[in-house]
Amino acid sequence: MSIDFETELNDAQREAVQTTEGPVLVIAGAGSGKTRTIVYRLAHLVESGIDPAQILLLTFTKKAAQEMLARAEVILGRPLTGTSGGTFHSFAYATLRRNAADIGFNNGFTLMDRADSENICKEVKDVFKLGKGDRSYPRKSTLLDMITKSRNKELPIEIIMEREAYHLSPYLDDINEISNGYAQFKREHALMDYDDLLFLLDQLLEENAPLRNQLQTRYRYIMVDEYQDTNLVQARIVKHLAGSKGNVMAVGDDAQSIYAFRGANIANILDFPKIFEGTKIIRLEKNYRSVQPILDLTNEILAGAATKFDKHLYSDLKSDKLPEVVYPLSDQSQARLVVDQILTLQRKYMLHEIAVLFRAGYQSFPLEVALTRIGIDYQKFGGIRFHEAAHVKDVLSYLRLVLNPHDLLAWQRAMDHIKGVGPKTVAKIYKAMHSGDSKYLTTITKKHEDLRALFNELNTLRGLTPKPSMLLERIMSFYQPILIEKYPDDYPKRQAGLEQLSQIAVSYSDMEQFLGDLSLNGDPEDEKRKENSVVLSTVHSAKGLEWKAVIIIDLVEDRFPSRKAMQRAEDLEEERRLMYVACTRAKDCLKLFVPSSVYNRASGMSDPTLPSPFILELPNETFERLNESYGGGMEKRTRPETHPQLGTTRQQTHTESNTDTKNKKNTVKLGFCKHKIFGKGKIIAQPEPNKFKINFPGFGIKTIIGDYIEMI
């Protein structure tokens, strides 16, 4: 059968499909029909008389390869017998099995899974007698994470630790020793892990010219999907197989490279034309997912990228409704406003067609509580559901015991960190407390100092106000050293989740209501259950998915982009790509939430925020701005003139004229002003046209956007 290219493909897709000789780089914008292009190219090659056995398709999941091959077979009307399609790892495994002796495995090798690798790390640690008696010692899973990240990024463990896990620095020498021991153990026992498959294949192809030439002759047509997600060793493998001028087509989108934490290196796709001489670059820019106003906004996000392949997404899907940028007064009111938006959107869309996206899993905690309170079911991807977090359960166990000293499960949780106090001992303590056996309690508390401290803390808590936020403040101080000891591998991340718990507590005056709302758990997450459930997801987990309506929350500095990302230029660039991925998940409706302040547990007040730089850069004509008013409603702002540096600056209400606004901006002098949180302050500098450094008595110097101050 003849393939109908004219009606099934657009011009750019057709060019990619029919360009079969030489290196080709297909820059496939979000929603541009990337998979369709690969499938039709497979079919076209075979229909053109190419032997299917000469085609190699490399993907990142087995499922993706199988789906592409199956769809190509449907187009051709016959099987693609002989085509090699699969993951980098599966291809490496098959090649190494056939050539094991050439890499020193004369009797073959055994491939280990993740659990095997973790157990070997533990065994090596024990053999070296490391961490004996240290309850804060990194878990075996964390040890392996450090080793595998170091290998995939091809950086020393010290650099990985400095960037991602600085709190583990005291164990650097130990982890290096375990890493060396782990490598030696594998070699001595003819074992390989998943990383070895790639690095040993790279070594084999580098050193064995006859094999390299043989594979280059066999696989005349190589196609690689999601090229922006390749790491350094995968890119080298592709070069070995294709040769510098081989027939290799790489498909991907530099703007969707968001997995640097796994080792993905965006330079692979950016430098592809330099590595493969004579590369033809084809851009897929027609989007089949989103309405044009959403694409106008995402194009502006990409415009600010430092290094990129230029692309301009467009769509035949039109809409007269712009994306909305919503400014809640605080992150505390943000959850309520998002729930209101979901209830409104529910009139038009099914709940599973609505998604709320966020940078980090803990950021959805207030929303989870708000959704549970009004009975809206949700399904969460990325991170864990709030009520399932172990550290949250730990802290809540203290509150439960203040309310109900007969809560045996809470006692078990509260004593879990005390060495030597297991379930049987907890049962004895519980019985003694409720039978008045003071002799046993005196004996056991003398034996366990931590137990005495716990009892003293609970006695103190019972005498305090029943207001949840005040009790939590005290509990957090008591629990902090326990958190660090109990969860040494990732306590900084867990601490952020507990900050959210404190924020939620502020809006409660009744402890029973607070605990009740937190305990109304829905069914455990079921990947297959999608009907009538709002989707909550981290942006990383949302890649490749789409929804009719998308809400993105916490678009402020330190949250999106994350605090860590603000410190390195390349990390900030990845955050920009993450923002692009988030926005391009939306088909019809996009709403961006920018809380004007965030709750600070230390001060018990809300601190003003700086909007995400990705929001500040957006031209005003790409969105509608809504502000939460002090009365609780929403106030639409008209579009002001765009400031060339910030994009969005002062925006006036319908009652304020453009002329008045311009005059205010032009007549600002270094003097006194008033802020709704910090009160009266003195302006000491104006680093940018609409940003001011202000000295607030009692708070120190703060940098505030002009929208949030009133001149006096």
- Bind-site residues: 28-35
Secondary structure string (H, E, C) spanning 572-631:
HHHHHHHHHHHHCCEEEEEEEECCCEEEECCCCEEEECCECHHHHCCCHHHCEEEEECCC
Is residue 84 within 8 A of residue 55, CB to CB? The reply is yes
Q: At 298, phi and psi to the nearest 5?
A: -70, -30
Residue ranges of the annotated binding site for ATP are 28-35
- In three-state secondary structure terms, 156 is coil
Identify the residue whose tokens are 């909007």: 611
CB 473 within 8 A of CB 502: yes
Backbone phi, psi, residue 289, to 5°: -110, -50
Nearest Cα residue to 595 out of 581, 619, 579, 612? 612
Locate 318 and state its tokens: 């039109």
Nearest in space to 359 (alpha carbons), one of 502, 548, 556: 556
Residue 384's closest CA among 460, 473, 281, 494? 494
Is the Cβ–Cβ distance between 355 and 367 less than 8 Å?
A: no
Q: How would DSSP label each residue in 55-123?
A: EEEEESSHHHHHHHHHHHHHHHTS--TT-EEEEHHHHHHHHHHHTGGGGT-TT--EE--HHHHHHHHHH
Give dist(CA 537, CA 366) in Å, integer.
Answer: 14
The residue ranges of DSSP E strands in 238-279, in sequence order, are: 248-252
Which candidate, 577, 571, 618, 578, places its Cα nearest to that of 594? 618
For residues 94 and 74, give the distance between their C-alpha atoms in angstroms, rounded to a whole number.
27
Q: Would you tell me the crossing angle of helices 157-164 and 172-188 to the nearest 10 degrees? A: 130
**DSSP letter string over 503-566?**
HHHHT-S-HHHHHHHHH---PPP-TT--TT-EEEEEHHHHTT--EEEEEE---BTBBTTBTGGG
Rounded to the nearest 5°, which phi and psi values hold at 248?
-120, 130
Report helix, strand and coil shares of the chain as percent, to nearest 5.
Answer: 50, 15, 35
The CA distance from 518 to 513, in Å, is 9
How many beta carbons lie within 10 A of that of residue 391, not counting itself? Answer: 20
Task: Return the bridge partners of 535, or none.
Answer: 355, 379
- The answer to whether the beta carbons of residues 272 and 250 sit under 8 Å apart is yes
Partners of 283 in beta bridges: 27
CB 62 within 8 A of CB 92: no
Q: CA quadruple 174, 175, 178, 180: dihedral positive or negative?
A: negative
